[in-house]
A and B are shown apart, each in its own frame.
Chain A
Amino acid sequence: MKEKLIVVGNGMSGLRVIEDLLEINKDKYDITIFGEEPYVNYNRIMLSYILSQEKTFEDTIINHESWYTQNNITLHKGDKVISIDKLNKTVTSQNGKVENYDKLLIATGSKPFIPQTVGSNLNNVIAFRNKADVDTIIKTIDKSKTAVVVGGGLLGLEAAYGIAMHGVKTILVHRSGSILSQQLDSTGGKLLQENLEKYGIEFKLNTTIKQINGISDVEEVEFSDGSSVESNIVVFATGIIPNKDLAIEAKLDTKKGIIVDDFMATSDKSIFAVGECVEHKGNTYGLVAPLYEQGKVLAKKLADVEVDGYSGSTLSTRLKISGVDLFSAGDYLGDETTEELILLDEKVGIYKKLVIYDNKIIGIVLYGDTADASWYLKLLKEHTDISDLRTKILFGKSALSGDSGHGGDDVNSMSDDEEVCGCNGVCKGDVVNAIKDKDLKSLSDVKSCTKAGASCGSCLGLVEQILVNTLGDEYNAVEEGICDCCDVGHKEIKECINENEFSDVYEVFEKLNWKTNDGCIKCRPAINYYLLVKYNDDKYKNDKRSALVNDRNYANIQKDGTYSVVPRIWGGLTSPQELKDIADIAVKYDVPTVKFTGGQRLDMLGVKKEQLAPMWKDLNDCGFVSGQAYAKGLRTVKTCVGSQWCRFGTQDSMAMGVKLEKLTWGSWTPHKYKIAVSGCPRNCAEATIKDFGVVAVDSGWEIHIAGNGGIKVRVTDLLCKVETDEELIEYTKAFMQFYREDAYYLERTAHWLERVGLEYVKKIMLDTQKREYYVLRFEESQKSAQVDPWAKAIEDGFTKEFSPIVIKPEESVSFEAKEIN
């Protein structure tokens, strides 16, 4: 007879206990879970990504309905437990359900703390705690020009960033003089603030909210510094309080939270508690890693497996804002008895501080470069004496081994007990053992089995490296499906397309047993791309219905559904007449915004879809072709003025830039592709963060590859040096074609290179025969590629669809239909 286990709370910590328990003994309990929210178990940590629209709610679901079913777990969604009868061992829910238990687990998490302020009861004064909050924020800021976020802690910053990503002016109010004051010292806080200001967040420090004004909804916010702002929303991220209401009602021992022992038992030995709702040895925790550490202990306890008790956690944290690398742990402030080792480069935005006591690390602050976070944390946790490492320790682990590296962690040198995933407390050894013991073959298998990388996702690259190293040659044997429509990955799809003859995407679907008839937004554009690359435009007609919207409409869609139009400006060179023509056209179509792009071109923003075709026609008439600013293809070739004008220029970068752009425009690539040519090593065209960067030197040209100036800046790798223009052109052709054919769809050169390795690319590119092979294939493909898509779309009549059909009310007719479609 199974025992009955009831879990109160369907959140991350409670469910982690159940997952761990099922791993150890899946037959011990009949499990019933009550959840207050009307959803399955989702990852609350990732709410900030939903708000910033970098992920969907679906991406945050940890366990789908099928998981509950497969494990015979009864889930009561949207039903809160309101009382516990300890004597009869029953719980009662809000919907009137009464259930017996043998063991009860309380995992009710925490409640947001909203300070009592005048007006804090108005509509749209909310917390940032659950999915409903995020939905409300998104809905409200649509109608608001300004949003106010209160609290400069982790949650507040993530909320402010997410809101600012919607283009809404965001004011963050924080009572102390430095943001993230619980995790960072003032130097780190200042660097972080400067970075976040770039996203449009305005900070009011040493300030609080005086009162919130409005009749029913928020209308205005007054601050303690005497200023005020019109706003429709106030988001409070001012801390959390352990949710101990149910425990109090049941007369369990509580203080700040529900009191538990080292085995997470409450004052009633049939009732356990875990997560943010508990207090252990006077501490409460609001980060996920400690909660999972508690969960591991409790799962073993519930399974009657011997386990050492929980002894508390060392807190470390990372900020989940794209492009902001921040890590802190331990006693990051120190005191008069401690020393500090500091590396600060404000210009580059790197700050590292180690707080040392008795030659041991007791606190860590890393900003801008967190690659060594897990290594420093290990030294901290193990109380390692760092006397011998002291002079080099701030330069990271690679500096000690003499390997300067090129970013990324060296997983080979990591010890098994070194932490990989801070969110879930998973060490390298856990991942390696799971891969070996459970025969895991894919990243998703590792994620779901070990939970490494399953929360904020910032360690996924590292997890994948461990997978690759552990599996060796086997790694490529199994690939994940590219979307839910199929079980096959890019590699297998490409092989299939290369080995067979297909005339459209549907034939590929049929051959590879697609689960859907038409594919989806992820797979159809990918298949269309692979077919285009194989056959070139002359043998396979680009299927516009399978292309992403920008590639289909030859313009960049903007947040309001209008488009941006960019004519090609070869090598960044233009003329007064061209500028005048563009200006005339911008005036003619009443273009609201004209902007110079980072790639030295003019962008006309706010163009209505029905204006696109006539505008293209006018631009064509003036000699312009599409700049493909929207395309998965060559965008731009940026140049400096080079030897033509610059006192320091050693080569004619402008002429070379124009030549390379005329060579490479028009063809499709897996992702956008940018080239730059600098006329001397001063590198004014910033060639070393481009997909293909050319830097002139006295003896010829340096060729750099796989740079990226995006969210995560990646500096290029040097491919080689060449002496002549002809050699440079040869490499330009060969590299572009190699990337076109070898990378996966939507894989930037930077990610492709990191996946396949620089040595692999060098091996092909520096081999004369192989290089010639790709040159020839490039030249062949370009024959049919260099057609202006604007002119072609007009010629094909595709743009008819761009014009709406306008029906006047007087054209309404009474109609009795005979045929129903």
Chain B
Amino acid sequence: MQNWIKITELENIPLMGARVIKYEDLEIAIFKTKDGSIYAINNICPHRQGKLSDGLVHEKVVTCPLHNTDVDMISGESIGEEYECTKTYELKIENSLVYLNLK
């Protein structure tokens, strides 16, 4: 079962930065990396619940702003530490609009 929602225009996601999407109780960060790819992951770091959207983006990784835990945006895994995975979401772009699958 897929549950696509329309988010925003692609240009509203800052390069090497993030926008936060709030949907009911969910808070999801949409990141855009240097090559223009976008990734959606739960905004909460699995280590100490820092907001990943405030983290430093490098390649496909975001570093949590609270304690520098690195989280892989593709898999949601924390790198070098054994914390639980962060949930990741599927994204699609059509006509410069970003859609997010909440499944």
Contact = CB atoms under 8 A, between A and B. Distances in A.
A516 B92 contact: no
B23 A807 contact: yes
A557 B38 contact: no
Contact of A804 (B21, B57, B67): B21
Given A561-B54, A805-B7, A520 B92 contact: no
B54 A821 contact: no
B21 A805 contact: yes
B57 A806 contact: no
A545 B20 contact: no
Contacts of A805: 7-8, 12, 19-22
A804 B20 contact: yes
Contact of A809 (B8, B14, B23, B50): B23
Given A519-B58, A807-B5, A821 B66 contact: no
B6 to A, nearest CB: 6
Contact of B63 (A135, A520, A557): A520
Interface in B48-91: 48-51, 54-59, 63, 65-69, 80-82, 91
Interface string B1-42: 011111110001011111111111001000000100110000
B24 to A, nearest CB: 6
Contacts of A348: none
Nearest to A803: B20
B19 A801 contact: yes
Contact of B65 (A58, A549, A813): A549
A484 to B, nearest CB: 10
Contacts of B94: 815, 817-819
Interface in A781-821: 800-801, 804-807, 809, 811-815, 817-821
Given A56-B81, A813-B5, A521 B22 contact: no
Contact of A801 (B6, B17, B49, B93): B17
B65 A56 contact: no
A745 to B, nearest CB: 15
A815 B99 contact: yes
A553 B14 contact: no
A806 B4 CA distance: 15
A549 B55 contact: yes
Interface in A715-754: none
A821 B81 contact: no
B51 A524 contact: no
B81 A57 contact: yes
B63 A821 contact: no
A135 B94 CA distance: 43
B54 A815 contact: no
Nearest to A816: B4
A629 to B, nearest CB: 16
A260 B38 CA distance: 61
A553 to B, nearest CB: 7
B18 to A, nearest CB: 8
Contacts of B69: 56
Contacts of B4: 812-815, 817
Contact of A517 (B2, B17, B34): B34
A819 B56 CA distance: 28
Contact of B38 (A548, A553, A807, A821): A821
B49 A545 contact: no
B92 to A, nearest CB: 4
B5 A609 contact: no
Contacts of B37: 821
Contacts of A813: 4-6, 99
A559 interface: yes
Interface in A535-577: 545-546, 548-549, 552-553, 557, 559-561
Interface in A232-288: none
B23 A53 contact: no
Contacts of A56: 67-69, 80-81
Nearest to A59: B80
A814 B2 CA distance: 8
Given A57-B80, A805-B21, A559 B54 contact: no
A519 B56 CA distance: 10
Contacts of A439: none
Contact of B54 (A58, A524, A553): A553
Q: Which 4 A-B pairs have the closest CB atoms?
A: A817-B92, A518-B58, A815-B4, A549-B65
21 contacts: A53-B48, A56-B67, A56-B69, A142-B48, A516-B58, A516-B59, A517-B34, A517-B58, A517-B59, A518-B16, A520-B63, A525-B56, A545-B16, A548-B56, A561-B49, A609-B51, A804-B19, A805-B22, A813-B99, A815-B2, A817-B92
Given A553-B54, A818-B94, 15 more contacts: A56-B67, A518-B16, A521-B56, A521-B68, A524-B56, A548-B65, A549-B65, A561-B50, A561-B51, A609-B51, A804-B22, A804-B27, A805-B22, A812-B5, A815-B92
Interface of A: 53, 56-58, 135, 138, 142, 516-521, 524-525, 545-546, 548-549, 552-553, 557, 559-561, 609, 800-801, 804-807, 809, 811-815, 817-821
